[in-house]
Amino acid sequence: MSVKNLLLLVLLPAALVFQGCKPKDVITPVTPPTPETPEPEVPGPSTPSDPSALTVCTFNIRYANTSDKYPDGSSAAWVDRCASVKKFIDATKPDLIGLQEIRKEQSQWFASTLKDYYGYYDVSRDSASGSAVSSAGGEGVGLLYRKDRFEVLIKDFFWLDPNTRERPAQNSDGTYGAWNGACRRITVYVKLKDKLHGDSIVYFFPTHYDHKSSVARKNSAELMVTQMQTLCKADNLKEADCLIVHLGDLNTTYDSAELAALNSSMNYARLSVDGPDKYASTFNGFGNSSSLIDHIYFGGKSVKPVKYWVDRSDYGVPFLSDHNPVLCQFEYN
């Protein structure tokens, strides 16, 4: 046998074996696509290092009507949003919540739906006697407080007008009060005893400044400072022995001269702690607009803010309101 034939006899079986071991479907490897940039994390409540950490929230809930729509044309009426608002409260569990633009059915909803965990108080801005929105109608400002945490010592309200104890009259031009506001405006407040932190005193002042009159907003901010100094018995609000929280839809930006009195007399939560929501808009216009007009101010030497966020989480509707809830978590020093 020739050498050539001998080599064929040796190499042919080996080639067949090699061919039989080759995969049937060979896929040429390709460079995997670059992953999509993930959505930025939306801040939310965290497990605080201090078990007595306290979370406050301001939330303009948008007054109840049947005409509001989301950009996709679906209904943004209160009846279609309220279940999602409860999901938000259940998820974040704020200790104190200030509410603006409350109408009668909303007042009744908050008082009944959350009664197992929260105490509720609101006042109609048009009621001469300070009656609740649920009975007086109109629109008002309200608050919620955790019943398992706080004991209420004082519960009251005042008008944003030079005469804080008398309902502002309507002027001949249709405006209201000495500052010619587009509406009557009020502040509700409570003095609380914090049972989770040695019965420390907490004052909570939710409000809603006028949406048209710059003069009314400036005077309201100045009035709020003097009212808090008097009611909390603290000339220096920043160094007060108690915690003082003033929040709400103030209908202007932080750097506006209208809020100069607040900016010089109190601490501003949004700029007191770093975080991704430091410059996030608070007004969303149901997806049609944006601005930063909802604010949280605080005083008192006993606490420090540890987290600030504008809640834009998915609770089952495109937006909870035409304003996003704004929250700040404090820890006691």
Is the per-residue pLDDT at 47 higher than 90? Answer: no
CB-CB contact of 103 with 133 (8 Å):
yes
CA atoms within 13 A on the CB side of 155: 15
pLDDT: which is higher, 22 or 181: 181
Confidence class of residue 331 from pLDDT cuts 50, 70 and 90? Answer: very high
Q: Vertex 127, ends 144 and 163: CA angle to 5°? A: 95
Pairing of strands 243-249, 150-159: unpaired
For 57-95, letters b (16+ CB in 10 Å) and e give: bbbbbbbbeeebebeeeeebebeebbebbebbbeebebb
Report pLDDT for 51.
82
pLDDT of residue 50: 76
Q: Is the pLDDT of residue 36 over 50?
A: no
Compute the distance between CA of residue 278 and CA of residue 276 in angstroms, rounded to an integer: 6
Structure tokens at 149: 């945490």
Gap between the terminal Cα atoms of the chain: 99
User: Per-residue pLDDT tens for 231-244?
Assistant: 999 999 999 999 99
In this structure, the chain runs to a length of: 333
Q: What is the mean pLDDT of the chain?
A: 89
**Stated pTM of the model:** 0.86
Tell me how far apart the alpha carbons of residues 32 and 48 are, in angstroms, rounded to a whole number. 40
Q: How much of the chain exceeds pLDDT 70, in percent?
A: 85
CATH 2.60.40.420 fits 54-332, yes or no: no
Q: What are the helix (H) ranges across the chain?
A: 3-21, 78-92, 104-113, 133-136, 214-231, 260-265
* Cβ neighbours of 114 (radius 10 Å): 18
For the chain, the farthest-separated pair of C-alpha atoms sits apart, in whole angstroms, at 125
pLDDT tens by residue, 136-160: 999 999 999 999 999 999 999 999 9
Outline where DSSP puts E strands in 89-218.
Answer: 96-102, 118-124, 140-146, 150-159, 186-194, 200-208
Q: What is the CA radius of gyration of the chain?
A: 29
In tens, the pLDDT along 244-303 reads 999 999 999 999 999 999 999 999 999 999 999 999 999 999 999 999 999 999 999 999
Cα gap 248→100, rounded to integer Å? 7
